[in-house]
Structure 1
Amino acid sequence: MAEFIKIYEDKPSEAAIKKVVEVLRNGGLVIYPTDTVYGIGCDITNSRALERLAKLKDIKLEKANFSFVCSSLSNLSDYVRQIDTSTFKILKRALPGPYTFILPGNNDLPREFRKKKTVGIRVPDNNIVRQIVEVLGNPIVSSSIHDEDEVIEYSTDPELIFEKWQNKVDLVIDGGYGENVPSTIIDLTGYEPVVVREGKGDVDVF
């Protein structure tokens, strides 16, 4: 059964963050808050965890459109081909924030994602997940937590999330109520930004 730990966004406990990082390093799956909906993720460098995540989402790993959650733009070049100044300006203006940006992937992507030409990059405006990624030292691969209820597409109550997922993941973070509107997805691989999905992030800034 998963552990359930409370972490406060305004002052995340160092010990709690270290505990989450340890679970991730050991191949665990973690449910965590973002600036939009709750996400489920694992360490990008752990093949076994990536397989588990794909299986849980009932999708083949090489076909999965997981996003990479980063703590800042500083480790972008690890996974993304060199981008031009105008693209970088867009990223800098919008992040951290409720956006997922589709960018051209480079040859250093983990083996499991090598066939992908693009990657979705996310830097949420949430202290908890950003500190986890920072201490971990590399991005986490992430997907949203969906609800089976057709009216509420995303689960927002951490206790209910824990109830539903406790036997499928290793740790659930209670970071307070989540949102039920996902991130806005913007494709930056062409000449102009293209809105793929309108979510919480304002599209007018583009």
Structure 2
Amino acid sequence: MYQVRQNRAGKEVKVNLMVMENLLFGRNVVRTYDLKGALFSRYITDADEKVLLDENFVEDMRRSPMYIGGRNKHIFQRAIWNDTSFLTSINVMDYSLLVGVDKQRGEFVFGIIDYLRQYTWDKQLETWVKTSLVVPKNSLPTVISPKEYKKRFRKFMGRYFLTVPDTWSSEQCTGHCKFCNKGIGSSSVDSCQSSQITANSNT
């Protein structure tokens, strides 16, 4: 955390800045996703958009699935569990899992971002308005209470990141994959990085 002081019209203005790690630096990333675990109004139709959302991710995993080994899936889920527990304990929600698909290394790159927003009265009002007037029945808005956000986030990450036995994870595909040009229909991703938030985490 840094504080910058500026003089504006003769008055000193203080601005707080949070500097976060660039997870994708030095990576050959062919696709980037911003995942919140929500499936309502989380779809990008613009083919030129650099960052895709949850519904795009689900669609892509169905069309051309990518897998992580069982051990890495366990590490990934443990990191998600620890980080979301910590964020819930400080009343934070609306965070995202940034996911990059590294073509050169055949890896997923993970990291939780945007973890500064607490569930204050304005966000509670937003939840009520969208639930009552905007979101269809049996769906939830993106912004919900920290406990409900945590449950939905964990469920999504556990369901849509597909797993294969560790003995398969180093195999190479033999045809064309739109993500990494390695295989027909699917590609094996044999390495993952767990979430970059480490507070209250054993990873």
TM range, normalised to the smaller chain?
Answer: under 0.3
TM-score normalised per structure 1: 0.26
The higher relative CO (CA closer than 8 Å, separation ≥ 6) is in: 1
Larger of the two Rg values belongs to structure: 2
TM-score normalised per structure 2: 0.26
